[in-house]
Amino acid sequence: MNVNQHTPMASPYGQPQPGYGQPGYAPLDGGYPAPYAPFNGPASAYQPGAPPQGPARGPPTSGATPVSAPQPYNQYSHSQGDMQNGPPPMTQAPPRPAASQQYNQGAVNLSGPQPSYPQHYGPQPSMQQVANQMTGMQITSGPPTPAGPGYAPPHSSHPPVNTAYSAAPPHSYTQAPPPASSPPTQPPPPSGPAASQQYYGGPTPPSQQPFNSSLPPTSQQQFASPAPPPPSSQQTFPPSSSYSGPAPTPGQAPAPPASQPQQSFPPTQPPFSSAPPPASHPAFVSGPPPPAQGSFPPRAAPLSSQPGSFPPPGPSPISMPSGQYPGPMPPQQQPPPSQPSPYHSGPPPPRAQMPPTSMAQSNHLPPGPQGPPGPLGPMQQPPSQPGMQGGYPPQQNGAFGQVRGPQPGYAGPYPGQPNYGAPATAPAPAPAAQKRLDPDSIPSPIQVIEDDKVKTTEPFTTGVRGQAPPLVTTNFQVKDQGNASPRFVRCTAYNMPCTADMAKQSQVPLAAVIKPLATLPPDETPPYLVDHGEGGPIRCNRCKAYMCPYMQFIEGGRRFQCGFCSCVTEVPPHYFQHLDHTGKRVDCYDRPELSLGSYEFMATVDYCKNNKIPQPPAFIFLIDVSYNAVKSGMVNIVCQELKTLLDYLPRENPEMDSVVRVGFVTYNKVLHFYNVKASLAQPQMLVVSDVSDMFVPLLDGFLVNVNESRLVIESLLDQIPEMFAETRETETVFGPVIQAGLEALKAADCSGKLFVFHSSLPIAEAPGKLKNREDKKLIGTDKEKSLFQPQVAFYNTLAKECVAQGCCVDLFLFPNQYVDVATLGVVPVSTGGSVYKYTYFQAQSDTERFLNDLRRDVQKLVGFDAVMRVRTSTGIRATDFFGSFFMSNTTDVELAGLDCDKAVTVEFKHDDKLSEETGALMQCAVLYTSCSGQRRLRVHNMAVNCCSQLADLYRNCETDTIINFLSKYAFRGLLSNPTKAVRDTLINQCAQILACYRKNCASPSSAGQLILPECMKLLPVYLNCVLKSDVLMPGADVSLDDRAYLRQLISGMDVSESHVFFYPRLLPLTKFESGSLPVAVRDSEERLSKGGLYILETGLHLFLWVGASAQQELLVSIFGTPSFSQIDPSLTSLPVLDNPFSQRLREIIESFRAQRSRYMKLMVVKQEDKSELIFRHFLVEDKSASGGASYVDFLCHMHKEIRQLLS
């Protein structure tokens, strides 16, 4: 299962490895430790907290493994093979074995399964138990990662196994395993299950049971002590138990559980134990100690004792978790004893089934066996019921558990398959493989991010062509030396293939994400403003590219040759300058347009609409005052806020007053315009009830200067809430509202922005009237796409008109029910506006978020009436654009409004060959009207290399940007294709990209190996996140509006936003090192420690997760209360407490918010609280409640796809 990352990667890892090498791993490290070691290192740290899962499971399975060891190995090997990166593999090949060993943990587990199969099955039936165990396992697993190594030892000990694996690998991946399993057939299938078990711990439990049965005394003992707690824990926690398992004793407990499994497995462990135990122990020790410390010791002890002490279940007793589990266990145990045989027998049959159906089936099988478990049944059920498993989804274990135990659960877990789409075919084997994968052994986003941070020490200079910038997650400074800063432009590939064939072969999307008006950090200079005088900017005669560093001056400076089209153009006399001996203009460094990647030109009147200097823009606030809007408090809040907010209208010169004029409209079924002319004593309201044919009832006095009309405006804003306080009007219009704003701008002959505050589906009789069409039945059908399409064509037409006028629309939604975002969002999305949605808006809890969004939205710099054109050098062409804009032809991106947060993704296609010498150039020019009414051109230049070797392409691309492109591409595809097709396409393309690499760039190796390019090793995990997003895979509770909202939202995201959106940032808060943020952990429940606090941000959401057994000091310092139960889950801001921890935490939260374009409301999630479901949704490496695959599963699936492509 080892995912070998690129060899190149290896280096980094390699280094770390040593570091990580740590004693624990050391043994395993043999060869492998290195790569993973690094992980382990960190992992170990985490593991303590998160450990529960991985390791935990591992052990249990491992327990089983002994028996099936060979098989497991095979599987492992497979997995390993899969994971191994092509190139590295070669070199690593030898080590791999070791690596495999490490992974072996998984393998071990697998192996465990076999022997344990019987057991597993036994256990399987008792999913609960399994789950519990799993949890326990998981817990251990947590450590396991680290433990992995620990386990590895066992594997390592099995080296032979490895060999076996090598052979087996193919099997595992290919269906081979099944055969292998045949004798073991069962094993394979079981392995499947086993694998799952390993992860899921499922196997372990069984094993435990069996073991327990066999070792009644020990187990009993263990249980005995734990027993008491278990029941409760089981019942209540079962679901959570898995969590609780890990969480409760996160660091601590996890270990124990692990230990338990081990204990239960003793048999298995023993074998391993000999080697592993020590290793694992050390690992644990090292890892666990820090976090779990107190508790750990016990576990550690048990663990350590495990080997020998399997029997010593003692540990289990020690470890609370175990105790809990034990509880369940006992019962199981009892049955198992009697049933062991049944299980065994059971397993086989299941296996038979298993193979075909894959994991799911295997799971099913368990049921069969469960028959016997019958007795266990109850037990199982409870756990299963907890549904927690369902909830657990994140945890594979849980999922599997469900599958197995609760037959009903099945469906659930399996959904995974559907996700894959095709997977069904080879499920059995693949799944097996998947299950075996150790989460720690596969590429870790966190690792990559951290590595990049470490690597980036120097400011990034843009002078070198084709140099990939640091990741978006890294803080770095940029020096513009001729190419645009990555803050403005990021490319998917910095080394483009020379030919279309290559591009097609690789399937790597060639795209750039351009954020033309991006805000730069204070230490970077904003683009210089260049004025070329009355003649306007100097441009190439043919392609009209603007003067830039790629223009080659010739003939002593009298002419220049365009870098894009090679056309030679005369240099106008006033622009002439001599050349130096290198052929550069003497004034090269005096002129931004000759030396920088980004700069602005002053546009002349020729660049203005109707050849008229534009009027300053206007902001119009359109406020829904229907019953719902008033009742929710929105109207009041908006009016209050506007009074102060109007002083912060955007301006370019902070010294000056903003020239932006403002206007106000309220509406329900009719529209109310306000005359706020300065000369009036009182504002005047003009009601337009003829909404069928909208017009602006007044001109003078509608759009006013804030300072001049301040008194009248304040009076108005005071009175609006009063006037409508008693309204009973519930119907609203929407189309006419935008028309009104548009007409007002037309009448004033200016561009501008509409801020629409809207609450409900516009059902009143008017153009653009909508009906409720939310129909969940359509989801999953071919008609699903229609739900993303606007309901009526009216808004498309309207959007077009808006764009023509330069009327940008920002929509703030406050819905209590379906409002059809897909339709309402058409205009904002087409005009470069934004949609903000506050579902079930409540003044008390949502005001802060709304106001911050509003403030930012009003204040941010914005350009109007913009046209963006991307020019490229001959050979490629910008062919497709994604984002919030409108296009009336194929080249010009028209943006009624363009703010500093909007990004446009541009796709390039070859139309000819590129040359390696000149590379590929692109120039993005945005003509816009600044908020002071000045017409300007912003130019961003970007040059990338070209390559004739695919390897170069793969060596120099950026996964985050690719994901940005792929997600936008896919989300747009939803409009015209069934969701499933979109998902399949994504998977397919991703598989092709990786397969192409494997085929063309990786050194030859076993087909069973998964070899990922270093730059793209995160592609699967990120892609999985895209596939699992609410848009592509909605959960039952995700409304159509939410999906449409997100779909639209993504279209305007830049890379850093899309990155965190798809792979949320999860920070442990257990300890802070002053000054720097704690290192993030992976988005998996396994990584959560019950005793810790975590903060998770997605760019839209911000959670503070509180473990059920978080330290009291921690709680006191954050919440001011020592009691977990007294924490108010409805908190939206943390109490201001005078202690460093609280301060630091609040600082962090603030800094997160500051980084994002939208304000994130803080949600406090208490472990095991209802709200945790929401939180878990963002643990994207886990199985999702809606059926999204876990990272591990997906990776296996990916691998299968790739292999299919290769064969």
Minimum CB separation from another protein for residue 705, in Å?
Answer: 16
Minimum CB separation from another protein for residue 765, in Å?
Answer: 9
Is residue 35 close enough to count as binding another protein by CB under 8 A? no
Of 408-416, 492-500, 686-694, 893-901: span binding another protein (CB under 8 A): 686-694
Minimum CB separation from another protein for residue 732, in Å?
Answer: 15
Inter-residue contact 762 to 795 (CB < 8 Å): no
Instruction: Name which of 589 and 695 has its Cβ closer to another protein.
Output: 695
Alpha-carbon distance of 1165 to 457, in angstroms, equals 36
Is residue 681 close enough to count as binding another protein by CB under 8 A? yes
Structure tokens at 1032: 């592509």
Alpha-carbon distance of 889 to 871, in angstroms, equals 15
Minimum CB separation from another protein for residue 698, in Å?
Answer: 6
The binding track of 625-644 with respect to another protein, each residue x by CB under 8 A or -, is: --------------------
Instruction: Name which of 388 and 688 has its Cβ closer to another protein.
Output: 688
Minimum CB separation from another protein for residue 686, in Å?
Answer: 5
- DSSP per position, 693-733: G---S-SBTTBB-TTTTHHHHHHHHHHHHHHTTT-------
Minimum CB separation from another protein for residue 684, in Å?
Answer: 4
Minimum CB separation from another protein for residue 769, in Å?
Answer: 15
Instruction: Name which of 698 and 1079 has its Cβ closer to another protein.
Output: 698
Of 657-665, 692-700, 998-1006, 1075-1083: span binding another protein (CB under 8 A): 692-700
Minimum CB separation from another protein for residue 662, in Å?
Answer: 17
Structure tokens at 721: 């809430």
Alpha-carbon distance of 140 to 133, in angstroms, equals 10
Q: Which of 700, 782, 1037, 1150 is the binder for another protein (CB under 8 A)?
A: 700
**Integer angstrom CA distances of residue 623 from 157, 665, 757:** 71, 6, 5
| Bridge partner residues of 886 (DSSP) | 894
Of 384-392, 713-721, 772-780, 886-894: span binding another protein (CB under 8 A): 713-721
Is residue 725 close enough to count as binding another protein by CB under 8 A? no
Minimum CB separation from another protein for residue 670, in Å?
Answer: 8
Instruction: Name which of 740 and 876 has its Cβ closer to another protein.
Output: 740
Structure tokens at 279: 């290793």
| Bridge partner residues of 943 (DSSP) | 921
Minimum CB separation from another protein for residue 673, in Å?
Answer: 7
Of 11-19, 579-587, 680-688, 1186-1194: span binding another protein (CB under 8 A): 680-688
Side chain identity, residue 85:
N
897 burial type by CB count under 10 A (0-12 exposed, 13-18 middle, 19+ buried) = buried
- Residue written as token pair 């109310």: 672
Structure tokens at 399: 């999922």
- Residue written as token pair 């344990």: 116
Instruction: Name which of 321 and 683 has its Cβ closer to another protein.
Output: 683
Q: Which of 697, 978, 1078, 1120 is the binder for another protein (CB under 8 A)?
A: 697
Largest CA distance in the chain: 99
Instruction: Name which of 690 and 911 has its Cβ closer to another protein.
Output: 690
Is residue 610 close enough to count as binding another protein by CB under 8 A? no
Q: Which of 567, 588, 680, 1148 is the binder for another protein (CB under 8 A)?
A: 680
Q: Which of 67, 510, 646, 688 is the binder for another protein (CB under 8 A)?
A: 688
Strand pairing report for 1101-1106 and 862-872: unpaired
Of 515-523, 690-698, 944-952, 1018-1026: span binding another protein (CB under 8 A): 690-698
Of 256-264, 517-525, 696-704, 929-937: span binding another protein (CB under 8 A): 696-704
Instruction: Name which of 338 and 682 has its Cβ closer to another protein.
Output: 682
Inter-residue contact 440 to 32 (CB < 8 Å): no
Structure tokens at 945: 């290399």
Of 714-722, 789-797, 807-815, 920-928: span binding another protein (CB under 8 A): 714-722
φ, ψ of residue 548 in degrees (nearest 5): -155, 175
Alpha-carbon distance of 481 to 124, in angstroms, equals 62
- DSSP per position, 42-60: HHHHHHHHSTTHHHHHHHH
Q: Which of 580, 693, 782, 1037 is the binder for another protein (CB under 8 A)?
A: 693
Q: Which of 359, 543, 660, 670 is the binder for another protein (CB under 8 A)?
A: 670
Q: Which of 448, 496, 716, 926 is the binder for another protein (CB under 8 A)?
A: 716
Is residue 683 close enough to count as binding another protein by CB under 8 A? yes
Is residue 682 close enough to count as binding another protein by CB under 8 A? yes
Minimum CB separation from another protein for residue 674, in Å?
Answer: 8
Of 489-497, 699-707, 831-839, 980-988: span binding another protein (CB under 8 A): 699-707
Minimum CB separation from another protein for residue 650, in Å?
Answer: 27
In what helix (H) or strand (E) does residue 12 lie, and over which residues does it extend?
A: helix 7-14
Alpha-carbon distance of 252 to 241, in angstroms, equals 14
Q: Which of 520, 554, 608, 698 is the binder for another protein (CB under 8 A)?
A: 698
Instruction: Name which of 765 and 782 has its Cβ closer to another protein.
Output: 765
* Angle subtended by helix axes 429-436 and 159-173, to nearest 10: 140
Is residue 689 close enough to count as binding another protein by CB under 8 A? yes
Of 262-270, 447-455, 685-693, 830-838: span binding another protein (CB under 8 A): 685-693
Minimum CB separation from another protein for residue 746, in Å?
Answer: 13
Is residue 179 close enough to count as binding another protein by CB under 8 A? no
582 burial type by CB count under 10 A (0-12 exposed, 13-18 middle, 19+ buried) = exposed
- Residue written as token pair 């209360």: 1121
Is residue 981 close enough to count as binding another protein by CB under 8 A? no
Is residue 763 close enough to count as binding another protein by CB under 8 A? no
Inter-residue contact 66 to 104 (CB < 8 Å): no
Is residue 687 close enough to count as binding another protein by CB under 8 A? yes
Instruction: Name which of 622 and 1032 has its Cβ closer to another protein.
Output: 622
Instruction: Name which of 730 and 985 has its Cβ closer to another protein.
Output: 730
Q: Which of 345, 425, 467, 719 is the binder for another protein (CB under 8 A)?
A: 719
- SS3 string, 535-569, reads CCCCECCCCCCECCCCCEEEHHHCEEECCCCCCEE
Instruction: Name which of 715 and 985 has its Cβ closer to another protein.
Output: 715
- DSSP per position, 1120-1177: S-S-GGGS-TT-SS----SSHHHHHHHHHHHHHHHHSSSPPEEEEEETTSTTHHHHHT
Q: Which of 589, 648, 695, 840 is the binder for another protein (CB under 8 A)?
A: 695
- Indicate the DSSP class of residue 585: B
Q: Tell me the three state secondary structure of residue 317.
A: helix
Q: Tell me the three state secondary structure of residue 511.
A: strand
Q: Which of 454, 464, 586, 699 is the binder for another protein (CB under 8 A)?
A: 699
Inter-residue contact 899 to 847 (CB < 8 Å): no
Q: Beta-carbon neighbour count of residue 281 at 10 Å?
A: 29
Inter-residue contact 785 to 978 (CB < 8 Å): yes
Minimum CB separation from another protein for residue 907, in Å?
Answer: 45
CA atoms within 13 A on the CB side of 792: 16
Size of the site for another protein (CB under 8 A): 28
Q: Which residues contact 724 (CB under 8 A, 6 or more apart)?
A: 625, 630, 635, 666, 668
Structure tokens at 1074: 């002053």
Kindly list the residues in this chain that would bind another protein in the complex (CB under 8 A).
670, 672-674, 677, 680-690, 693, 695, 697-701, 715-716, 719, 722-723
